[in-house]
Amino acid sequence: MKKFVLNVLVLALLSMSYGFAQSNLLNAKVPQEVGQVNEQQIEADNANPIEYGFVDDRDVLWSKTIWEIIDLDERINFPYYYPTKNNGYLSNNRQSLFRLLMDNIQEGNITEVYATDYFNEKLTYEDLKPILEYSVLTEDGRRKSNSGEEVSQDDYDTYIIDSFKVTQYFVKGTWYFNKRLGEMKYRLLGIAPGAPDVSTLADSSSEKVIIPLFWVWFPDARETLNKHKVFNPRNSSQPITFDMMLNSRRFNGTIYKEENVYEDREVKEYIYEDALRQLLESERIKSVIRDFEQDMWNN
């Protein structure tokens, strides 16, 4: 029986390699042939995201919505940050999460984009331009403007939020206990890239506070995220999709807010200027969620 299970696992890994490895790399006679796939490979790699099962509201015994910060300075979160440059030297399949979101918002593949984490103010790609790009007159441009001379585009300094400047992600999700299945589950609801306000980039002396740029309703982005792979540093022939990474919570996040009676106030709003106590409060909230499932079977 163990030998049979082992053989099944080996076959599964081989099939994953077939679908996920850089196509035709070992058979290419010239670099241009790398990435070329046949119809069978396209069909094998065209997997849809795993569907969420229907959850009846009556089956939810307990739930708590939380907001977390994913710090991209942490090594475990690097796959969401790199590559920060689109210079043509890396495969087209290698994209940062921010570049992936922006490209597909522009192409219309992701449409559920909002200004807040309560998803009540919808944004278009055109609405995002002032959030991601800021232009200010240079010294020469101001002199021309004051003297009445015509100002051209060259007289502006333009600041753009790109993958390099997105150093955090904000995620919103709900933990719930499904009494029909008898287990705790997590459902990711929204994700937002975090970067400094683009208007502060022109002032090098100003404090750069990381803010959510916009919020994406995660279920709407799943199909797109499932088509793009995350680089696996341990085995480059076995990448997984962004959708699988986020749904399986393969990231390290710090809770900065939970739903509460105080208008969902953030931790920093009731614990002032004490990073250690704020971190301990985040761990306390996490323990409440973790202990609920354990207490279900201990009582």
Domain extent listing, the chain: 1-46, 53-126+165-298
Partners of 63 in beta bridges: 176
| Cis peptide bond N-terminal to 49, omega within 30 | no
Cβ-contact 72, 169 below 8 angstroms: yes
Single-letter amino acid code for the residue at 242: F
pLDDT at 38 over 80: no
Distance from C-alpha of 187 to C-alpha of 209, rounded to nearest angstrom: 28
Q: Which helix (H) or strand (E) holds 254?
A: strand 253-258
Pull the structure tokens for residue 62.
């307990």
Share of the chain above pLDDT 70, in %: 82
Q: What is the pLDDT of residues 182-203, one digit of tens each?
A: 889 999 999 999 999 998 888 8
pLDDT at 18 over 70: no
Distance from C-alpha of 13 to C-alpha of 16, rounded to nearest angstrom: 5
**Phi, psi at 229, each rounded to 5°:** -95, 150
| pTM score above 0.95 | no
Distance from C-alpha of 157 to C-alpha of 139, rounded to nearest angstrom: 10
pLDDT, position 65: 96
Tell me the average pLDDT of the chain: 84
